[in-house]
Amino acid sequence: MNARETYEHGRKTHGLALAALERRARALGTARLAVAAATVVLIGAMLWGRFDAPTQMAAWTALGGLIVTFIALVLVHARVHDAALGVAAAMRFHERGLARLSHAWDSLPIAVGPVDADHPYARDIDLLGRASLMSVVDATETRFGQEHLARLMSQEVAVGWPEKVIGRQEAARDLAPRVGFREKLAALGGALPPDDHRDARAVLAWAEGTGHELSTAIRWLAWILPALAVGVVAFGSTFGLSAGAVTGLVAVEIVLGNVVGARAARFLDSVSARRSWVTQWQSLIATIESESFGSPLLISLRERFASSGRSASGEIASLERILGYADARYNEGFRYIFGAALLWNAHCAFALLRWRARAGAHLRSWLDALGEVEALGSLGAFSFEHPDFAWPVLVPEPLFEAEVLGHPLIADGQRVGNDVSLPSPGRALVVTGSNMSGKSTLLRAVGANAVLACTGAPVCARSLRMGPLRVATSMRIEDSLEGGVSHFYAELRRLKRIIDLSKQTGLPGAQEGALPAAVLFLLDEILHGTNSRERIVGAGAVVRELVAHGALGMVSTHDLGITVLERELEGRVKNAHFEEQVVGETMTFDYVLRPGVVQTSNALRLMRAVGIDVPDAT
C-alpha cells in the first residue's frame, strides 16, 4: 500500500477498535451502576428487613460478592479506558498523516520552534507556522522532538557537511518503511498529558540540580528512630516498660518522624508532580531500545540510552517506582502515623537523591536522543509520504542544480516543476516576469528544497545536486513604526546582512575563520521601495558584490534594466523569465521558466480585470 492507503487503512482499523472499546466501556459503566444499585438495595434490605440467620448469612455473602464485583468492574473499566486512549492516539497518527498528504492545515498543529525573529530565511520560506514547510514534515509528538526538528530545519549552516546530512538521510530511509514503529512512538507520545509534553525544563532542572540535600543527621535519624520504635514495641515489656510508657515513647517517635519528614516532604513535592512524565518517557525510550535499526546514526542514538551503565528505560522505571512509593504520603492516615513512624518521606527522598546522583546527569542526553529519533522519524515519514521526491546528491563544492524542482507546499496536481542551474560559486539567475506568473514561488521553492536537503530529507524535484550552502533571503520585508524603520531601510539592512554572510564562506579570499559554505541568496523584487533608476543601480551593485564573494542565487524583479547584468557579468549571470498566456479576454499562467527576458507585462490588464478604469499604455 502507498502512504495514503496505509493511513486510511490504519484510521479505519483503529476507528473500529476504538468504537468497540467505547461500547465495552459503556457496558462496563452500566454494569457498575447496576451493581452499585443492587448493593444499595441489599444494604437497605439488610438494615430494614427481618432475616433469619441463614438468610442474613446469605445476604452478607451476596454483599461481599457485589463489592468484589464492583471493584473488579472498576479495574477492568480503567484498563479499557487506558486502552481506548492508546488506540485514539494511534488513530491520530494516521489522521495526521492524511492531513499532511492533503495539506489540511486546520487539522495539523501549528508548527513552532526555537527560531529567532531575525533568522536569515525562516519567515520568507514559510518554515514555521500554519501551512508551513515544517507542517508537512513534522510528525513528532513531544516538545523535545518538535524542537529538535525545528533546529535541524533552521540551522544556518549545514554542520558536518556532508557526512552528518548523509547520516540523517540513511536514518530517514531506515525509518520510512517502519510504519508500525513510528505509529507506536507517536501513540505513546500523543498519550502524554498536554501540560507535560510541552516543556521538559522543570524535570531536567531537578535531575541536574544539587539542591534539597538532606543532612547527615537526618540520614542517621531515618534509621535510628524507626529502629527504636520497633525495639520499644517488641521488647518494652521485657525491660519492664508499661503499656502507657511504650505508647508514649512511640507517640514521641511519631512526632519526631513528622518533624524530620517535613523537610523531606518539600523535596518530594517538587519531584512527584513529574510522575506522569516518567511513565511515558519510559515507554517511549523502551520502544526505541527494543528496535533493531540498520542506520549507524540510529544505532548510536539507541546506544546512548545505556550511557549510565544501565538501560535508560530501566532507570526511568526505577524512578517511577520511587515516586510511586513517595506518593503514599498523600494518604493522611499513613502519612501522619505509619509513614511518620517509619520516616517514609526521608527514605523516599534518599532514594531519589541516589537516583539523581546515579542517572540524573544522563537524563538530558536521553531526552535529546529521544527528540532526535522523533525528528528522524518525521524525515522518514516525509520520505514514506512522498516516494516520488528525490534524495539530493550532496557534493563538497557549493552549487545548486535541480531538475523539475517544485514547491513542496503545492499539491501534486497543481505543482509545476522547473530546472534551476547554479553550477558554481559566483553565479546568479535574474528572473523577470509579469505579476502572479510564479517568480516568488520559484524562489521559495529553491529555498525550501535547500533547507530540506540540509535537514536530511528528500526534496521536491526529479533530481538535485547541492553543495554546502547557507540560505539567506530577502522577500517579506516589514517596516516598523515603533522602531522608526521604513520598508526600504529594513530591506537595506537585510541585504547588508546577506552581503556580510557572503564574506564568511571559506572560499578563496574569504575572511579569517570563515565557514565552509557559500551563501545561497534569494532576493524577491529587490529594492522595489525606490525609483527605477536608483533600483537598477542599487540592485546591480548588490548582485555584483554577492557574486564577487562567491555567493550564488536568484533575484526576481519587474525592472528590466537589471537584466543588463547578463552582458556585464557574462557567464556569471543569466536571465530567465515567466510569462502569461492571453486568449481573448482570458489570461492564464503555465508557470514554466524560460530563458531570456520577459517581453510582456500584465499590470494594466489586471487592474482592468478588477474594475479599475485605466487607459492603454502608450
Cell, residue 121: 530565511
**In which region does residue 404 sit, left (phi positive, over 0), alpha (psi from -120 to 50) or beta (all else)?**
left
Secondary structure (DSSP) of 305-360: TTTTSS-HHHHHHHHHHHHHHHGGGGSHHIIIIIHHHHTHHHHHHHHHHHHHHHHG
**Averaged confidence pLDDT in the chain:** 83
Of residues 126 and 159, more confidence is placed in 126
Radius of gyration of the chain (CA): 34
What lies within 8 Å, CB to CB, of 120 at 6+ separation is 156, 470, 471, 472, 473, 497, 498, 501
Residue 34, pLDDT score: 93
CB 318 within 8 A of CB 355: yes
Task: Note the Cα 392 to chain centre separation in Å.
Answer: 24
What pLDDT was estimated at residue 282?
A: 86
Residue 248 has pLDDT above 60, yes or no: yes
Query: What is the three-class DSSP state of 91?
Result: helix
pLDDT band for position 347 (cuts 50, 70, 90): confident
Q: DSSP label at 480?
A: B
Give burial (CB, 10 Å; 0-12/13-18/19+) of 509. exposed
Mean pLDDT of the region 320-333: 71
Span 259-313, pLDDT tens digits: 666 666 666 766 665 555 566 688 899 999 999 999 999 999 999 999 888 899 9
Residues contacting residue 527 through CB under 8 Å, at least 6 positions apart: 488, 491, 534, 535, 538, 539, 542
If one counts every other C-beta atom within 10 angstroms of the C-beta of residue 296, the result is 12
Query: What pLDDT is recorded for position 197?
Result: 47
Which grid cell sits at 563? 537584466
Q: Are the C-beta atoms of residues 185 and 287 closer than 8 Å to each other?
A: yes
Q: Is the peptide bond before 162 cis (omega within 30 degrees of 0)?
A: yes
Q: What is the signed CA dihedral for 329, 331, 334, 340, rounded to 10 degrees?
A: 30
What is the chain's percent helix, strand, coil content, to nearest 5? 60, 10, 30
pLDDT at site 235: 64
**Count of positions (residues) in the chain:** 618
The DSSP symbol for 166 reads H
- The pLDDT, as a whole number, for residue 484 is 43
Closest CA to 127 of 476, 532, 416: 476
| pLDDT at residue 463 greater than cutoff 90 | yes
- This prediction has a pTM of 0.84
Which pLDDT tens digit goes with each residue over 160-211? Answer: 788 999 999 999 999 999 999 999 999 988 877 655 444 567 677 777 876 5
Q: What average pLDDT score do residues 479-484 get?
A: 46
pLDDT band for 533, please (50, 70, 90 cuts). confident
Task: Quickly count: other Cβ atoms within 10 Å of residue 274's Cβ.
Answer: 18
Cα 50 to chain centroid distance, Å, stands at: 67
